Amino acid sequence: MALIELTQVTKYYEMGNQVVRALDGIDIAVGVNDYMAFIGSSGSGKSTMLNILGCLDKPTSGQYHLNGKNVETLDQNQLSEIRNLEIGFIFQSFNLLPRSTALANVMQPLIYRAVGYRERKKRALEALARVGLSDRVDHLPNQLSGGQRQRVAIARALVTKPSILLADEPTGNLDSKTTVEIMALFDELHSEGQTLIVVTHEDEIAQHCHRVVEMKDGSIANDSGPSSNQSQPEASR
């Protein structure tokens, strides 16, 4: 069974008298330990795809199964719960709490799981060590470089041990040297079994991934990589 399966998923928006087909009948599956990128120009549908995959938005029609759960039938509370349990988010702008230390930022998602303080701290320290920031746990975001802040954001995404990591333009605010370091970290996470989906407009970032899905006008224009054939949804579904 695929980790993620989208069947004839659409997302339409009304803008005045027009209907914008942001996603227009998407069929795609993502296997466990896939390492894939969604690419495309502005307006191609890749950001809408990220919102759907991340349970931040619901499709207009079609089916979305995540780890066997029928996502499009869930209410907002259930969507919030599945985001907390299944998905780790990594954003271009880091989205760190500015007045909280690196440690406190990484501990934050575990509060919503009602994890006790000692266990939260233990897991957060482990996650920060995993991204090479054991010596920066007490630093505030403004005391960290851009690359270090992105590593904190990655540690925050990893601390809940999610089924999937979703990265939205994760190197967009980083210099070229730091970009190489962050992508090397992604490569390591993939080699350890993590499923990663990266949304990017940069070809060099996409080429790090093992599967590249090109979006155009709300549809999949091309799907290349080792998982693109074996993970397609069955025609009968």
Contact yes or no for 62/72 (Cβ under 8 A): yes
Q: What is the pLDDT of residue 234?
A: 42
For every one of its 237 residues, what pLDDT tens digit does the chain have, with 9 covering 90 and above?
689 999 999 999 998 889 999 999 999 999 999 999 999 998 899 999 999 999 999 999 999 999 989 998 899 999 998 998 899 999 989 999 999 999 999 999 999 888 999 999 999 999 999 999 999 999 999 999 999 999 999 999 999 999 999 999 999 989 999 999 999 999 999 999 999 999 998 899 999 899 999 999 999 999 987 654 444 444 333
Between helices 146-158 and 117-130, what is the axis angle to 10°?
A: 130
Q: What is the pLDDT of residue 1?
A: 64
- HSE, CB side, 13 Å, CA atoms: give it for residue 48: 27
Prediction pTM value: 0.89
Q: What is the pLDDT of residue 226?
A: 62
What domains appear along the chain, each with residue ranges and CATH number?
A: 33-58+80-224 (3.40.50.300)
Residues 64 and 85: their CA atoms lie apart, in Å, by 17
Contacts of 55 (CB under 8 A, 6+ apart): 66, 71, 74, 79, 82, 83, 86, 87
Q: What is the pLDDT of residue 72?
A: 86
End-to-end Cα spacing for the chain = 12
Task: Return the beta strands (E) in 99-218 as ranges.
Answer: 164-168, 195-199, 211-216
DSSP 134: G
Q: What is the pLDDT of residue 227?
A: 55
**Cα separations (Å) of 15 from 12, 57, 66, 194, 215?**
10, 17, 30, 38, 21
Residues 37 and 205: their CA atoms lie apart, in Å, by 8
Contact yes or no for 9/52 (Cβ under 8 A): yes
For 203, the 3-state DSSP assignment is: helix
Q: What is the pLDDT of residue 225?
A: 72
Q: What is the pLDDT of residue 150?
A: 95
